[in-house]
Structure 1
Amino acid sequence: MSENDWFVMRPQKAQAYGRPVGDGFLVRKGSTAMREGSPRVKRDREERDRLVRQGVLVPDTDPDLYRFSRDHLFGSSSVAGGIVKDGNCSGPQSWRRPTDRKTIKEVFR
């Protein structure tokens, strides 16, 4: 798998890598997620808290972040982005390919 197959999302201090797969959106081990994102509305907060309880998201050395302890498959890029951002997210418009900065939406038109 090439680095070009991965998309990146960088909300605030977090940096996560993910890619569309057949049955969802895979976020790569080592990616980080915000513990407390800026939006007040957090539709994915219950899912995020479940991932913390399951050990998928663990405390990072930076107290503002969680780190993915393993690859994790989400149902969509929007849910994955909401977890990374700790707020509502449009995944197709938020995840970008590092090589050319194109969004998932632009790449998969």
Structure 2
Amino acid sequence: MTEVERDTIRRKIVQEIERLKPEIERLKEITKPVAPDDAIGRISRMDNIVNNSVNKAALGKAVSRLAGLEYALAQCGNPDFGTCIECGAAIPTARLLAMPESAMCVACAE
């Protein structure tokens, strides 16, 4: 991997981290429980429960992705960054730009 590719991937990781942090805060805010004494109605409360579970799943996914991106950013300077942990082949730059937290090539990930 060239230094230009590494810098491009590093910038992509930082950009994605900056995008995810406010999204995580937004999801944390909207997944707060509604107090039982708030008069929002039975149907609205059920709708809120369903939406809350969907948003909690999105929050979990975002938090997990953030952790992966932060780890990838820390490893970006490592000479082994961009090398598949399974087969040792170089992970294509396009895959790392799409999913910088990838530790495996497409073949091994399948």
State the TM bucket, normalised to the shorter chain.
under 0.3
The structure in which a higher percent of residues are strand is 1
- TM-score norm. by structure 1 comes to 0.25
- TM-score norm. by structure 2 comes to 0.25
The structure in which a higher percent of residues are helix is 2
